Amino acid sequence: MARLTPEIEPLLDAETIAGRVREMGRQISEDFGAKNLTALVVLKGSFVFAAELVRAIDLPLTVEFIGLRSYGSRTSTSGVVEITLDVKYPLNNCDVLVIEDIVDTGLTMDYLIKNLKTRLPSSIRVATLLHKPARSKVEVPIDYLGFTIPDRFVVGYGLDYEGYGRNLPYIGALVGDSKVD
């Protein structure tokens, strides 16, 4: 049966995203110098962003994946976070760069940072493509930010709506869904 696709209003086109991600990569390359980095990709939403960002970082690095699921309604999180896939290797003495798609309430990132600290890395920095400051419930450190966006539910470039839309090359907002909560 055909699936109804929600109406999506474009917010950030592919070219704009690519340009900003290249700048973020340059900045990260400068800041980390010759250090060996571990890029920690938060699945699933950041897989597209991470693929583009790591190629813009001109440093030796390893890539690890962590899967997180935050429970909630279709378009908002409750703050209850579960690790669905854990990192295979110890992170002690690593310079970890967390690569996240979006910081919304901040609850997921807050949980992740607290969890990572118990693994005794040398440092933790956070790169997120998107940030919705209007929805913030907890302060989280963001070292590298792609774009600040309004309080809209967004899809595309890795971000989904009920599992779909991750393959859209741009980022758009669901029409009629600026609420959430």
Measured from the CB atom, the residue of 120 and 138 that comes closer to ligand 5GP is 138
- What type of residue is 103? V
Rule CB under 6 A: choose which of 49, 91, 105, 124 binds ligand 5GP: 105
Piece of the chain touching ligand 5GP by CB under 6 A; list 6-14, 55-63, 83-91, 95-103:
95-103
Smallest gap, in angstroms, from Cβ of residue 9 to ligand 5GP?
A: 13
**Is 104 labeled as catalytic in the residue annotation?**
yes
Contact status: 128 vs ligand 5GP (CB under 6 A): no
Contact between 115 and ligand 5GP per CB under 6 A: no
Hey, which residues between 133 and 172 contact ligand 5GP (CB under 6 A)? 153-155, 159-160
Q: In terms of CB distance, is 98 or 107 closer to ligand 5GP?
A: 107
Residues engaged in binding ligand 5GP (CB under 6 A): 45, 70, 77, 101-109, 153-155, 159-160
Mind telling me the catalytic residues?
104
